[in-house]
Amino acid sequence: MEFCGMRFNTPLVLLSGCVGFGEEYTRVSGFSNRDAGAVCLKGATLAPRLGNAPHRVWETPMGMLNAIGLQNPGTEYVIKNILPALDFSETRFIANLSGSTVEEYAEITRLFDDSPIDAMEINISCPNVKEGGVAFGNDPDMSARVVAACRAQTKKPLITKLSPNQTDIVENARRCIEAGTDGFAVINTLMGMAVDIEQRTPVLGNGQGGLSGPAIRPIALLKVHQVYQVAKQHNIPIIGQGGIMTAQDALEFIIAGASAVGIGTALFYDPLVCPKINAGIVDYLQRHRLNHVSQLVGTLKIMHDEPDCFG
């Protein structure tokens, strides 16, 4: 399949922060990057970051909270030491860009433009850092400024990662399209927290973090459907993500408007989940006499208006 001009082996994308810099799961027997159409690398900032204080990860009944804080060795190190070790014949690799200022995003983009990376994901919606991230992702004007600054530095595909923690995700998407994004990743994690009732303190060292996993799937599915309404007018593809654990989950996102689907927290439950999801998608296409997954994108049928609350 094709996504933003890139050829994907499958409609699955391994999400940023869940597979390190593309090599983390290769140590698992039976795991192969070939099962994914693309791998989003861990977020890179201009300078190295140590990340947040522990705890950084906390399991929830239907997923997990994380507050890693974008720990990474810096963009130049990633380009010089990590990218050369990746096998670009296996899959496509997407850099994840994170910054504290518009200028920092632009500079990171410039550096990755002069590298073998296939595309770049602009992370304007990270809920577990104390600067940048959330402020950019929740303000359509700031989101558009970041995308425009990155667009000016590269002709490689730009995928904007949208925040669910905002008032109007559709307006934000529209502004990002005007600024030059080539695709969207919908959604990033939701803000959440956990409390140690004995100490009466937040469990996460950052106080709050990003909630991922099955608990957010219905929200993510709705956001994909909403963003698709504006994205389809400009042929902008979407990576739908948020709690996808099975082939049925993936198919729901594709029917709602996603051209590809992101696998993240599911990898912590089952590192070999990707071939299972791929097999389920193939089985569905065969049963419904469809030749390609693209024939399924955005085929959701809205029969009639339903009330959005009880009473």
Please name every residue paired with 65 in a beta bridge, in sequence order, or none if there are none.
Answer: 58, 211
What whole-number distance in Å separates Cα of residue 137 and Cα of residue 142?
A: 7
Catalytic residue among 126, 150, 176, 274: 126
Q: Evaluate the CA torsion angle 197, 53, 263, 102 in order and state its sign.
A: positive
Please name every residue paired with 37 in a beta bridge, in sequence order, or none if there are none.
Answer: none
What whole-number distance in Å separates Cα of residue 266 and Cα of residue 244?
A: 7
Known active-site residue 274: no
Question: Which residues are annotated as catalytic?
Answer: 126
